[in-house]
Chains A and B, each alone.
Chain A
């Protein structure tokens, strides 16, 4: 069996190398049949990768510990779900998953776009093949998932913190996101190589980028939720380099999704868009490098890992080749139009892009700063939480405000008078919200107050847009208000789906501001019967119980919760001591208020032999808006991603306009 897996990978490598070479030759000499053959090789590579993947999954399911990978990541007793998740739980397996998704996406993206972007596709194939070659090479030569050994009686098992339902969805979603960003890159480079620099490469990849971006976004929120309920330190995001690794490409992709609209509508920002795609892809590689190389785990061990340098080399290669191509095509990339006014939709989108990019680069700077300072000064200097928080405020708050302005401001040139009319109501709403919040005591955190005022402003613009659109539909003869609303959504999914996504970002901002700027914390050592008061709640520590589960000793403290005279039930917090792994884990108690979105978050930090417990308790206002934002974000993304037949027809028409060149 391992031979089959190894053989499948070697064949995959051969196929993608062929697709790269034949594809490049065919595109250069315009050989149609050779191009088709390269394309077929890429499709075949997907199937051979699939075979290799199935071999690995089968080995995992059979607990075949003669596979080094299986023995290292699983054990006989591991439940089936987690055994399958071990596929992406280790380095070699996740590289295989990357290649599988990559070849799958490549094959699908080529098939879907072959009609109207054939002249691009011939160049997209070799680009895809080049990326696939890198991963296939790693899998064959450096990090084979099919290394074998004399089978030990049992495997090493999986870290308890990974034995968690989130492990099933969070990593694969991030991978879908990382790998998905290859599609826009391949088409962008394909456009540069072919010299077909019209807007088709953008349109061909819009949904792919959206999909990758959605997967990255949801994957990160799942990770945040995992951290919040399982890791149990009271937060959900810690500016950890591994977390930042996913956030950076997401920010770059967000910028790209906005700036493409400017290119589609006005033909501007063409160089910028190509650069953003290159950046997003490089950052997704860099993210993998960070997670995999050990730079993150240990500040001192730059060269310990075997694949780190390979990734770094590949990132360097990608950036160099891409930039060279951009430079080569620079004369053709000149945009025919210029920015007319600093107060216009184009300009607003440009500010949005600069801010997103600035935030992204500030984070990147924070991530690489320890390495840079170590290389230059011989001493790693770490930028802490305050660094990131500062830039999140400095760049994030203006971004929030722009989210309300950008979609409503006029194209080309907006007059101040029209601005006053458009934004009169949202400004009033925002100001009154600010005054009310100030009266309620929100002035304790200025950034928090600003975030809420801006959120109210953006919320008002979104509501206004939906109301205006629905009224217009009704006036045009929709039977009822709901009918008018749904026809509005159906007719312009991209726009109104976008508003839904914006609404989710507002919810996210409200949740983040509430839980980080207005939270409170109390801690105390309590004996049974003693109580602690925080944020209007009173917690009484009642009892301590111990029970034995299959693999752990579970200790739980039970606390009564009261608010004023009202009895709000109980909450349990404690610790699990895992017997075999010799590891203790905090099991936090969370009581969510369904109405206000507030959480009472209880950690039993230390349980003493005499039965007294050191508790740390947080009150996190509005934190559940963060998770709600995830659902709304998904809804908005699905709306924009939904296939649109009319749009397809428009695309085909546009392809005819461009005129596909004859290929032999």
Chain B
């Protein structure tokens, strides 16, 4: 009977994966080139930040958080902007590349947690 219950749980799991599929790939700006599907983009905000997130969209660029890649991606974002958003911060947004501009899902921006705890010595994150 335990086996039966476990099987039921597994069935639910399979049901989910078959209906909803996997999640979104999470990639860095340098890996975005040529990808048109829905992705999650994680990067570091590069200024200048212009526009209005609630009218026409906020525009800024993202580059890789780590590594030497020089790639920059232009982002257009609408919707709620977290408190911690500013130049130099790490953010994560969902969206897809359209004509060279990464158009973000409205309201999908997450700034990396303002370090629930102190920043590490490596200065890695906020």
Binding site for B on A (CB under 8 A): 72-73, 89-91, 94, 158-159, 161-162, 232-233, 240, 242, 291-292, 294, 296-301, 304-306, 339, 342, 347, 350-351, 354-355, 358, 362, 369-370, 373, 379-384, 386-387, 390-391, 394-395, 523, 525, 575, 583-586, 603, 605-606, 614, 616
Q: Which of B16, B52, B55 has the most CB of A within 10 A?
A: B16
* Chain B residues within 8 Å of A232, by CB: 83
> B46 near A: Cβ within 8 Å?
no
Contact indicator B80/A294 (Cβ below 8 Å): no
Give the docked Cα–Cα distance between A91 and B119 (Å): 9
Contact indicator A159/B114 (Cβ below 8 Å): yes
Contact indicator A91/B118 (Cβ below 8 Å): yes
Give the docked Cα–Cα distance between A306 and B113 (Å): 20
* Chain B residues within 8 Å of A339, by CB: 1
Q: For A297, give the chain B residue with the smallest CB separation.
A: B125
Q: List B residues 66-96 near A (Cβ within 8 Å).
A: 66, 80-84, 90, 92, 94
**Given A233-B80, A380-B25, A381-B26, A394:B5 Cβ within 8 A:** no
Q: For B10, give the chain A residue with the smallest CB separation.
A: A358
Contact indicator B83/A616 (Cβ below 8 Å): no
Contact indicator B42/A300 (Cβ below 8 Å): yes
Contact indicator A72/B81 (Cβ below 8 Å): no
> B97 near A: Cβ within 8 Å?
no
Q: Beyond A73-B118, A242-B116, A300-B65, list 10 extra A-B contacts (CB 8 Å).
A: A89-B117, A232-B83, A297-B115, A347-B1, A351-B5, A383-B23, A384-B23, A523-B54, A575-B83, A605-B81
CB distance from B115 to the nearest CB of A (A): 6
Q: For A241, give the chain B residue with the smallest CB separation.
A: B113
Q: List B residues 3-55 near A (Cβ within 8 Å).
A: 5-6, 9, 12-13, 16, 20, 22-28, 31, 40, 42, 52-55
CB distance from A13 to the nearest CB of B (A): 23
CB distance from B45 to the nearest CB of A (A): 14
Contact indicator A606/B53 (Cβ below 8 Å): yes
Contact indicator A91/B5 (Cβ below 8 Å): no
* Chain B residues within 8 Å of A369, by CB: 23
Name B24's contact: one of A382, A394, A616 (CB within 8 Å). Answer: A382
* Chain A residues within 8 Å of B120, by CB: 91, 294, 304-305
Give the docked Cα–Cα distance between A358 and B5 (Å): 10
* Chain A residues within 8 Å of B112, by CB: 297-298
Q: For A347, give the chain B residue with the smallest CB separation.
A: B1
* Chain B residues within 8 Å of A380, by CB: 25-27
* Chain B residues within 8 Å of A242, by CB: 113, 116
Contact indicator B12/A394 (Cβ below 8 Å): yes
Contact indicator A350/B2 (Cβ below 8 Å): yes
Contact indicator B125/A233 (Cβ below 8 Å): no
* Chain A residues within 8 Å of B52, by CB: 606
> B122 near A: Cβ within 8 Å?
yes
Give the docked Cα–Cα distance between A161 and B118 (Å): 11
Contact indicator B5/A362 (Cβ below 8 Å): no
Give the docked Cα–Cα distance between A242 and B113 (Å): 10
Contact indicator A606/B81 (Cβ below 8 Å): yes
Q: For B22, give the chain A residue with the smallest CB separation.
A: A381
**Given A90-B117, A291-B117, A390-B16, A298:B124 Cβ within 8 A:** yes
Main secondary structure of the interface of A (DSSP, over half): mixed
CB distance from B119 to the nearest CB of A (A): 8
Q: Which of B27, B31, B118 has the most CB of A within 10 A?
A: B118
Q: For B122, give the chain A residue with the smallest CB separation.
A: A304
CB distance from B16 to the nearest CB of A (A): 5
Name A382's contact: one of B5, B12, B40, B118 (CB within 8 Å). Answer: B40
* Chain B residues within 8 Å of A575, by CB: 83
Contact indicator A294/B113 (Cβ below 8 Å): no
Give the docked Cα–Cα distance between A373 and B27 (Å): 12
* Chain B residues within 8 Å of A89, by CB: 117-118
Contact indicator B80/A390 (Cβ below 8 Å): no
Contact indicator A387/B5 (Cβ below 8 Å): no
CB distance from A294 to the nearest CB of B (A): 6
* Chain B residues within 8 Å of A300, by CB: 28, 42, 65-66
Contact indicator A381/B24 (Cβ below 8 Å): yes
Give the docked Cα–Cα distance between A145 and B82 (Å): 33
Give the docked Cα–Cα distance between A298 and B52 (Å): 28
Give the docked Cα–Cα distance between A78 and B55 (Å): 39
* Chain A residues within 8 Å of B92, by CB: 299
* Chain B residues within 8 Å of A305, by CB: 120, 122, 124
CB distance from B50 to the nearest CB of A (A): 14
Contact indicator B26/A586 (Cβ below 8 Å): no
Contact indicator A294/B1 (Cβ below 8 Å): no
Contact indicator B5/A301 (Cβ below 8 Å): no
CB distance from B37 to the nearest CB of A (A): 12
**Given A351-B5, A362-B13, A382-B40, A297:B124 Cβ within 8 A:** yes
Give the docked Cα–Cα distance between A382 and B21 (Å): 12
Q: 15 A–B contact pairs at CB < 8 A? A: A89-B118, A233-B80, A242-B116, A294-B125, A298-B42, A299-B26, A304-B122, A339-B1, A381-B23, A387-B23, A394-B16, A525-B54, A525-B55, A575-B83, A616-B80
Q: Which of B16, B52, B81, B117 has the most CB of A within 10 A?
A: B117
Q: For A390, give the chain B residue with the smallest CB separation.
A: B16
* Chain B residues within 8 Å of A73, by CB: 118
Q: For A575, give the chain B residue with the smallest CB separation.
A: B83
CB distance from B79 to the nearest CB of A (A): 9
Contact indicator B113/A297 (Cβ below 8 Å): yes
* Chain A residues within 8 Å of B40, by CB: 382
Contact indicator A395/B80 (Cβ below 8 Å): no
CB distance from A348 to the nearest CB of B (A): 12
Counting from the closest, the 9 A-B pairs by CB-CB distance are A383-B23, A90-B118, A297-B125, A380-B26, A358-B9, A382-B26, A614-B54, A585-B83, A354-B5
Name B114's contact: one of A161, A292, A296, A381 (CB within 8 Å). Answer: A161
* Chain A residues within 8 Å of B9, by CB: 354-355, 358, 395
Give the docked Cα–Cα distance between A606 and B40 (Å): 25
Name B82's contact: one of A233, A384, A394 (CB within 8 Å). Answer: A233
Give the docked Cα–Cα distance between A569 and B117 (Å): 38
* Chain A residues within 8 Å of B27, by CB: 379-380
* Chain A residues within 8 Å of B117, by CB: 89-91, 94, 291-292
Give the docked Cα–Cα distance between A369 and B23 (Å): 9
* Chain B residues within 8 Å of A379, by CB: 25-27, 31
**Given A90-B117, A90-B118, A299-B42, A386:B80 Cβ within 8 A:** no
Q: List B residues 103-118 near A (Cβ within 8 Å).
A: 112-118
Give the docked Cα–Cα distance between A351 and B120 (Å): 43
